[in-house]
Amino acid sequence: MNETFSTLVKELQAIVGERNATDDLAICTSYSRDQHWHFVPAKNPACIVRPGTKEEVRTVLMLANTHKIPVIPYSTGINVRGLTIPVHDGSILLDLSRMNRILEINPDMKTATVEPGVTFGMLQEQTRKYKLRPAFPDAPLTVSVLVNYYLRGIYQTSATDGHDHTISYEMILPNGETLKTGSRALSEMPYFRYGVGPDFAGMFCAHPGTCGVVTELTAKLYRLYDNRKEYFIGFDDVGTPTKFIYNLMNDELAASIRLVDNQSWLKGIFGTFDYPYEKLPKFVLCVLVEGVDGVFEAKDKLVRAYMKECGGQIQELPAEFASTFEHESLGGAEKSCMVFGIKGRGNYHCIGLYGPLTLAAKYYEVHEKTALEVGIPQDHVHFYIDPIYSFHGQLCYFELDIFYDGGDLKFGEKLRNYNEKQFHRLLELGIYGWFRPYAGIIEPTAERIGYLAEVWKKFLHVLDPNEIMNRGKLF
């Protein structure tokens, strides 16, 4: 590391404390890869800074802005698909995990205000005391609440939670200014998203740390009900259950609805590898009904009525499977991560996207087709549908999954080929949008969105004229 940078590290240490900033090679190396390394190769940040307060964040950003040094915001470093791996040399990685306070849980408002280092597990531990819960992504409950919502966490385990859980937030920009969205800008009441002017909260969302650093965020919480019932219905193909899913969604009957194949996510949803999954139908629809007295019984009755005519086979399974499904859906994903251990392969690749239920069978068809073309065996190909309320546009989150041996470098090459073909094919087929700005997604997508791409770039330039924020991750 050159002398200038060493001086900078000393300045950073003066801001956050000697213990909380370092350019030690080994420490920096520990941030050099995430699970997406077949697509985003390892690269070290030049230094790691661990601020403990907003003011420290602000001072660090202003310093970096002055020197035009790239800054990569990082919360827990999980499930980020390469978004916190540097593109440029000399980057500062801003590890926000020390900022892990739950600032408020407001049961009357049904909201929680959190810092970036708060995980879903930490938040659920507290919210459940009020019979409330956050909207959980189907990601490890060790991930950051703030970042998942800010990055648009609409792949939640409960369909009823809707697609947007963010109400308002506070973001520090590279110039040191604090930007507050919604009612937060007007008062100490951060409980309304559309407080003043345009929907700024929406405008800044889904940028992978490329606008500024979000230091606190107020999110919606959802009720936990005592009445619950689970159903598991088997199908031999993706198309048949779509009518049933449509009915459940149209009548807003089920809390959680997940269609998965019998060899991947089902193992996590049931919490065990030790079951003859191959004897189940190829696809299993997992349905969870919940509600207050009276409403619950009415919903359950309708679900059972639709189930009779759905064309699937109702599965009688051990009671603990239903219990695990409940926990994973309404208490945070933990066992679901058993997908990382499928057949001892240890890694998974997915293209996550939003699209209409009407295209479900097409998405699966193109998934199988592309995999086959690039030499990925059929038994590595898996699928996942998670419909989302409200069902306008028949909104669903889809996952085109491939489970594989993470250490197989040749397979990594196949996956890159798969991505290259599949991004284009999916765009041709029609999607609502991508789950995250994965490596390789932005370019083919930006080509198709016309002048919006130009406006988007200009918008970012206004906020970050020196392009220090996660430089290279979007444009």
Partner 1 sequence: MELEREEVLSAIHHCVKCKLCSIASFHPNEEWLPLCPSGEYYGYQAFYAPGKMEIFRAILEGEITEPSEGLLHSIYACTVCGACYEKCKQITSVELGAPDLFEAMRHEMASKGWILDVHTSIADKIEETKNAYGEKYEYNVNAETTDGDADVLYYIGCTARYRVPEIADAMLGIFDKLGLKYQVMGEEWCCGSVLFRTGQVEAARELVAHNIEEIKRSGAKTVVFTCPGCMKTFEKDYPDMGVELLHSTQFLTRQGNMNLKKEDLKAAYHDPCHLGRDLGIYEEPRAVLREVADIKEMKREREQAWCCGSGGGVKSAFDDFALWSATERLKEAKEAGAEALVSACPFCKRNLKEAAEKEELEVYDVVELVNRCLEG
Helices 409-429 and 360-373, packing angle to 10 deg = 140
What is the smallest separation between the CB atom of 430 and partner 1, expressed in angstroms?
31
Q: Confirm or reject binding of residue 91 to partner 1 (CB under 8 A).
A: no
158 binds partner 1 (CB under 8 A): no
Burial bucket for residue 52 (CB in 10 Å: 0-12, 13-18, 19+): middle
The one among 159, 266, 338, 395 contacting partner 1 by CB under 8 A: 338
Interface residue with partner 1, options 75, 91, 113, 124 (CB under 8 A): 124
Which is nearest to 441 in space by CA: 168, 83, 196, 18? Answer: 83
Binding of partner 1 by 157 (CB under 8 A): no
Identified binder of partner 1 from the candidate list 39, 225, 340, 389, rule CB under 8 A: 340
Q: Judged by CB under 8 A, which of 5, 11, 13, 27 binds partner 1?
A: 27
Tell me: does residue 29 bind partner 1 (CB under 8 A): yes
Binding segment (CB under 8 A) for partner 1, from list 28-36, 251-259, 275-283, 443-451: 28-36
Q: Which of 132, 126, 59 is nearest to 330 (CA)?
A: 132
Does 290 interact with partner 1 (rule: CB under 8 A)? no
As a whole number of angstroms, the distance between CA 359 and CA 244 comes to: 15
Confirm or reject binding of residue 223 to partner 1 (CB under 8 A). Answer: no
H helix or E strand, kind and range, residue 228? strand 227-235
User: Which of 13, 178 has the CB closer to partner 1?
Assistant: 13
Q: List Cβ neighbours of 298 (8 Å cut-off, separation of 6 or more).
A: none
Question: Contact between 142 and partner 1 (CB under 8 A)?
Answer: yes
Pick from 237, 273, 373, 443 the residue near partner 1 by CB under 8 A: 273
Enumerate the β-bridge partners of residue 433: 354
Stretch that binds partner 1, among 214-222, 301-309, 336-344, 443-451 (CB under 8 A): 336-344
Binder to partner 1 among 59, 65, 79, 264 (CB under 8 A)? Answer: 79
Cβ closest to partner 1, residue 213 vs residue 426: 213
CB of 229 to partner 1, least distance (A): 18
Rounded Cα distance, 395 and 357, in Å: 7
- The phi and psi torsions of 368 (rounded to 5 degrees) equal -60, -45
Residue 189 vs residues 10, 214, 437: alpha-carbon distances, Å: 38, 17, 32
Q: Which is nearer to partner 1, 126 or 178 (CB)?
A: 126
Contacting residue, 88, 110, 128, 223, with partner 1 by CB under 8 A: 128
Phi, psi for residue 388 in degrees, rounded to 5: -135, 135
What torsion do the CA atoms of 353, 355, 357, 362 make, to the nearest 10 degrees?
-80
334 binds partner 1 (CB under 8 A): yes
